[in-house]
Structure 1
């Protein structure tokens, strides 16, 4: 009888602990899928520039319009400065966390020059520019086609924003300087 108590009690205790751990894990998983821990507005300063990435709301309606923006502001000593970049200095790759699907941001790469006036942000709204390849799985292809045709379906999203530009040589004594400023923000889509 004493031997039985020594075996049964530890087994019951172990089962109780495992059950509690499983419950906590499920609760944390549900919590993570419903609430993302990324801010909806972020900014970073580098030298004479401020890069800001933001979304107007934390939660959007399924297939509704999303208002995601990037801004680049020159804050240096000159009245204005010329930057060089691809079709845009901003990239908006996105990852849907629940499905684990990444949506790349494709862009033409001509060399474009843009003049930034001190204190006046260059602002751009997100527009879908993702794609897929024949090697992607069917779930990713359908998901990206849905976003392209209708908008964002229900899910939890992270925008891995990038401001990518450079300043050419101002004179013989300076070297070109490139910038790659990264920020992450998040938003949810509910139906």
Structure 2
């Protein structure tokens, strides 16, 4: 009787684990929305894509905007080659790609209520020590093709409102939002 009880308990535990594994493995985290916006101080940063599911791209469909809404007619911002950064994550493959950028000091004047807008451009790379799947993915992106998968863009606008060598914490900005979209067939940008 004791052996039967032990066997019954083992079977019960194994079957319970199997059911639990199936429930958890089928559960997918949802992607962020295809458009997001955040306000910090006198600035609004918006990141958007035209659709949440793509089977074809008609040109570059990912955009970042930075709008000044303060009291002045205009304001100068100081930034790297662009105030916009577009690191991305392809969730199906588990691939994350940083956003490489030259870092000269550029000054851009924002006029009140007029958004500074920039289209997404891929700015990543690989080395000979990266895994083959990562290299193939990056080569596709360099050839202006989004492979099939689930994408999250971890966008940000990074800038200061004074010369960086004399900037205080109140004059540094890093506005961040995430957007997501799915590619159901490989598409060219």
TM range (shorter): 0.7 to 0.9
Equivalent-residue separation in structure 2 for 1:62 and 1:131 (angstroms): 24
Contact 1:51 1:73 (C-alpha < 8 Å) held by counterparts: yes
Contact 1:63 1:153 (C-alpha < 8 Å) held by counterparts: no
Which deviations, in whole Å up to 9, do the C-alpha atoms of 1:20-55 show, x marking residues without a partner?
Answer: 112212312xx34xxx33121111111100111111
5+ unaligned residues in a row in structure 2: which ranges? none
Q: Which residue of 1 aligns with 2:120?
A: 126
Q: CA RMSD in A?
A: 2.2
Equivalent-residue separation in structure 2 for 1:7 and 1:154 (angstroms): 48
Q: Which residue of 2 aligns with 1:25?
A: 24
Equivalent-residue separation in structure 1 for 2:65 and 2:141 (angstroms): 24
Q: Which residue of 2 aligns with 1:189?
A: 183
Q: Which residue of 2 aligns with 1:78?
A: 72
Equivalent-residue separation in structure 1 for 2:63 and 2:57 (angstroms): 18
Which has the higher Rg, Structure 1 or Structure 2? Answer: 1
1:45 aligned to which of 26, 39, 45 = 39
Partner SS, residue 168 of structure 1: coil
5+ unaligned residues in a row in structure 1: which ranges? none
Report the alpha carbon displacement of residue 9 of structure 1 after superposing the two structures with TM.
2.9
Q: Which residue of 2 aligns with 1:109?
A: 103
Is 2:13 aligned against 1:14? yes
TM-score by length of 1: 0.86
Cα gap change, 1:150 to 1:77, in 2 (>3 Å): closer
Cα gap change, 1:45 to 1:63, in 2 (>3 Å): closer
Partner SS, residue 14 of structure 2: helix
TM-score by length of 2: 0.87
In the TM superposition, what are the counterparts of 1:81-96 in structure 2 within 5 Å? 81-96=75-90
Equivalent-residue separation in structure 1 for 2:76 and 2:159 (angstroms): 10
In the TM superposition, what are the counterparts of 1:128-143 in structure 2 within 5 Å? 128-143=122-137
